[in-house]
Structure 1
Amino acid sequence: MVLQLVQVNIKARDETAIGRFWADALGWDLSSEAPGVANVEPPGFDWPDPTALCVDVVAVPDPESVRYRAHLDLATSSAEHHTELVARLVGLGATPADIGQGDVPWTVLADPEGNVFCVLEPRDVYRDTGPIAAVVVHCTDPRALGAFWREVTGWTRHEASDDLVRLRAPQGVGPYLELVRHPDPGTVHHRVHLDVLSHRDGDPAAELARLRSLGATDADVGQGDDVPWVCLADPEGNDFCVLGVR
């Protein structure tokens, strides 16, 4: 049984401040389900729903700067909107970031704790995604990693090449998951990862066994044994969490 991709998890020193930044950036609501966790969701959102990927900001003792293998791309509807959004984000505390992008039509920024994200120029493909256009994951083999995530989530493939695989929920709503070729995606732990949700009537042991058969491996990110989720890594070492299996 496929799992539902439900949220993007961002590690932070100050989860409330970074949660507030992302809530203001996206125009969403901010709440907290537990100490150390800030939940960023669209107003009136009935979680889980494929129309959006929520953002969970989780406090960790020292999320040192790392090479980011996953990041958010934000959508804009016009050149004017792009300019206005970048200015608003900078006013909220974002800063320009140079990750070697060169002369590109999008803007690379970092949130107040250094988490890199992009504000895209208007693109027709993202006209109905909501404020988050895509979650981008760097990898060495987009086709292989795209096949893994298709099997995990049941998402539909909308584009596939040696450089990019683009997936989206089968309902045709919400942001895309994009696997993008990068010559050196890095091997360190990263501050942004995906969370998938086990179905209520699923068999947790069977679901985890299926993920491992697809190439997932167990990951230790310091989560301990008393958390209600399981930490795994995809075949290229990108951490993700399976919620609702304990």
Structure 2
Amino acid sequence: MRVALFVTCVNDTLCPGTGRATVALLNRLGVTVEFPPEQSCCGQPFLNSGYRSRTGPLVRRYTEVFGGYDHIVTPSASCAAMVREQFPRLAGDLTARVAARTHELSEFLVDVLGVTEVGAYFPYQVTYHPTCHGLRALGLGDRPRRLLEKVRGLELRELSGAEECCGFGGTFSVKNPAVSAAMGADKARAVTATGAGAVCAVDNSCLLHLGGTLARQGSAVRPVHLAEILASTEGDLW
């Protein structure tokens, strides 16, 4: 089984630890992960901004780079949704077949590997924020929660209004900053009210938005990607 990591722009540029955690986790589960260096952006910022013609070359690049793999794993529900939902509409059957083999991390663990217990240890109180693309586009359901519930030492705290958007929304936060900030403030207050020390999600874009908002509110809650929790075996992230 040939497995490739699609690390995504946000993770590569701002959160490289998430990519490393994904590889460490999959290696621990016996999966050899390849990293094609030719990979690039999935094109979501272009498409969301109406630049369809500029998205096409990135779709073709993705198809060429990842076409030879059995599975492509990405620690980003947002980018996985872009590939699976939009690529088939933008290109032909070959792209659709490659897109179908693209999995968000929790999907790959639960659906492909058939595991929820991954040998993780994270002795903290954590609340889980289901991001919009994971919740509505991919339909991740309870997969991330099932994985978190199996982590030794972790206490999962319920988040009020969990299904409400954090306000990031990619280019939405740029085009509508006031609304985005207000939504983020509401979500951050709900996160802090759980009493958890960390908020977990499957998208670092949302976690960056929440992390900045939490810091401005003076909250001590820290954003942590699901991959980093699942890769932890010593509980030493903090």
TM-score bracket, shorter-length normalisation? under 0.3
Which of the pair is proportionally richer in helix?
2
TM-score (norm 1): 0.27
Which of the pair is proportionally richer in strand?
1
TM-score (norm 2): 0.27
